[in-house]
Structure 1
Amino acid sequence: MSQRPAESVVTSAEPGIDRLSPTRRPDERPVMYQSWRHLLFLHWALPPEVMAPLLPPGLTLDTFDGKAWVGLVPFTMCGVRPRGLPAVGFLSDFHETNVRTYVHFQGKDPGVWFFSLEAANAIAVRLARAWFKLPYHYASMELTTGSEGKPYSYRSERRWPGPTPATCSVRCTPRGSAAPATPGTLQHFLVERYFLYSTANGSLFRGQVHHSPYQVRGADVEGLDESLLAAAGIPRPSEPPLALFSEGVDVDVFRLRRVA
C-alpha cells in the first residue's frame, strides 16, 4: 500500500474558505488541453507583510499557519493544444518554470498568483501573454528525467523580456511512495490549486483548470541555484525549501473571466 508523504494533518489554512469545490470539474467545455509532467514543487514560508505588497489590488494572500508561501515549480508541458485541434510537436511540448504565491478573491476561489512563468517556446510565450494575460518569459531550458533512485535535473535561463538575470538550476531525487495529499494539510494547500489570477489594463481576471489530484511524494534537493525569486522582488529565505514531486496530471483549461 502506498504511503502519503510526511505532512501535518492539522487544518491551519485560513478558515471559511471553500477548498474542495474548486477541485470539481466545471460544467462547461474546456478551451485547451495540457499535460504537466515531472513537477518539482519547491516552497518557502515568508511573512505575509513581505508578500502582500507584491499583489495587485483585489487579491488577498492565502496563508497557512499565518504564513505566506512562495513556490518555485519547474516541470515540462506535453500535448498543449486548443480544443478541436491536434497537438503539434514543438508548439505543444516544452519546459516551464514558474514562481508563484497563493491568494483568494474576497474570501473565495483560492488560487495562484504568478510572479513569472518561464517557457522554452517563444510562440507559446507570446500566445499566453495575449490570451491568458500571464507574465510569461522566453527561456532556454533543459530537463533531464531520472528513474527510481536517480535524480531529475532542471535548468532555466531567461532570454526575454527582463528583468535579467533570472535563472534556475536544481536537481532532485524523489523518495517514498506517491499518494494524493490529504485535504487540510499543508501539502494539499500548496499543490491542489485550480484557479489562477492575472491582470491587464487595470482589470482582474480568473482562470480555472481541472485535473485529477496530484500523486505527490517527498524529494531530496541538491544543487539549487536560482535568481528567479530575486528577479520578482522576493527575498528567498535561507532555509532549505519544502520539496514535493509529482509525475504529473492531464489538465483541462477553461476560459479566462473578468472578475473585477
Structure 2
Amino acid sequence: MVSVTAEQHVSVPLLRASWDALTFVHWRVAPERVQALLPSGLEVDVHGGSAWVGLTPFVMGNMRPLGVPDLPGGLRVPGARRLPRLADVSSTPETNLRTYVRGPDGRDGLWFLTIDAGSAALSAAIRAAVGAPYHGARMSVEHDERTVTYAGSRRRSHEAYRLQIEPAETITPSDLDIWLTSRWRAYTHHLGRLLVTPVEHEPWPLRQATLRSLEQNLTDSVGLPGLGEPALVHYSDGVQRVRLGRPAVVA
C-alpha cells in the first residue's frame, strides 16, 4: 500500500545517496497505453481511472556504495584536481521517465521507462547489474534566484529534454501527491527475470511548482507520443538518507 514513510528498513544498503533538487512532472495516460509497455508480471497501477507517467530530473549526490563511509565533500578521484568533471565521482544529474505498477504479489512500485545519467560509467554498471534502462547523457541542473532549469541530451542518439520550473511554497501532500511520489520498490527486467529493489528514505518535502517551459521527446521515444500538457508539477529540495537495497528475483 502506498504510504508517506518507507515500507521497509534497508538494513544493508548496496548504495546510499541523496536525491537533491528534484522535480516531478506528471501526465495522465490511458492505462492500456502504459500496460502495453510493461513486461509480463507487472500490471499498471491507476489512480482516478488513469495511469500516470512522470518525468523526474534531479541530482544524485553523495553516492556511497556498500562499505564506503560518509565522506565530507564526496568521493573524489586521487590526482584529479585538474579534471573537475572527473574529480567528484559521488554526484551526477539523473532524469528518469517512470510509471506506476503492481507486481505479481500486488505490491506497488516503480517501473522505469528510461533513465538518463550524467555518468556513462554509472549508467553502464547499473544497466549490466539489474537491467535498468540507463543511458549516458550530457546533463545540467542550474539554479538562479527563482527558477531551476534542467537539460539533457543523450549521447549518440536524438533523445533530449529541457525544462524550467519555479518552486513555490511547501505543501501538505494530497492523497494523489503521496501516491505519485512515495514508492518504496523499483522493478526491473534482467536476463529474462523480473527483479525488485527495495528503497528507503525520509518522506518527501514537497513544494508547489510552476512549469515555465518544457521541451522533450523522451515520452515519444518510449512509445507514448502526444501526451500534451502535464497535469501536475511538484518540486522537492530533496531527501538526504536514501538507501537502495539488494535486488531480488520476484517469485
TM-score by length of 2: 0.88
Q: Superposition pairs for residues 93-242 of structure 1, below 5 Å?
A: 93-106=91-104, 108-147=106-145, 150-160=146-156, 164-179=157-172, 181-182=173-174, 185-242=175-232
SS at match of 2:212: strand
Q: Superposition pairs for residues 20-39 of structure 1, below 5 Å?
A: 20=3, 23-26=6-9, 28-39=11-22
Q: How far, CA to CA, are the matches of 1:171 and 1:158 in structure 2?
A: 19
Q: Does 1:62 align with 2:60?
A: no
Q: How far, CA to CA, are the matches of 1:170 and 1:192 in structure 2?
A: 23
In structure 1, the residue matched to 2:84 is none
* Deviation at residue 81 of structure 1 after TM alignment: 1.6
Q: Does 1:88 align with 2:71?
A: no
Cα distance change of structure 1 residues 61 and 256 upon mapping to structure 2, 3 Å threshold: same
Q: How far, CA to CA, are the matches of 1:187 and 1:248 in structure 2?
A: 15
Q: Does 1:47 align with 2:30?
A: yes
* Deviation at residue 232 of structure 1 after TM alignment: 0.9
* Deviation at residue 43 of structure 1 after TM alignment: 0.3
* Deviation at residue 84 of structure 1 after TM alignment: 1.2
SS at match of 2:131: coil
Aligned residue identity for 1:110: D
In structure 2, the residue matched to 1:257 is 248
Contact 2:3 2:182 (C-alpha < 8 Å) held by counterparts: no
Cα-Cα RMSD: 1.7
* Deviation at residue 38 of structure 1 after TM alignment: 0.4
Provide the aligned length of Structure 1 versus Structure 2. 235
Aligned residue identity for 2:59: T
Q: How far, CA to CA, are the matches of 1:236 and 1:222 in structure 2?
A: 19
SS at match of 1:175: strand
Contact 1:46 1:68 (C-alpha < 8 Å) held by counterparts: yes
Listed as ranges, the gaps of 5+ residues in structure 2 are: 77-87
CA shift digits 1:152-196 (9 cap, x unpaired): 000000015xxx3110101000112244x25xx110010001110
Contact 2:10 2:245 (C-alpha < 8 Å) held by counterparts: no
SS at match of 2:55: strand
Aligned residue identity for 1:198: T
Aligned residue identity for 2:128: A
Q: How far, CA to CA, are the matches of 1:231 and 1:122 in structure 2?
A: 20
* Deviation at residue 27 of structure 1 after TM alignment: 5.8
Contact 2:130 2:189 (C-alpha < 8 Å) held by counterparts: no
Fraction of identical pairs, as percent: 33
* Deviation at residue 259 of structure 1 after TM alignment: 0.4
Cα distance change of structure 1 residues 173 and 229 upon mapping to structure 2, 3 Å threshold: same
Q: How far, CA to CA, are the matches of 1:240 and 1:210 in structure 2?
A: 27
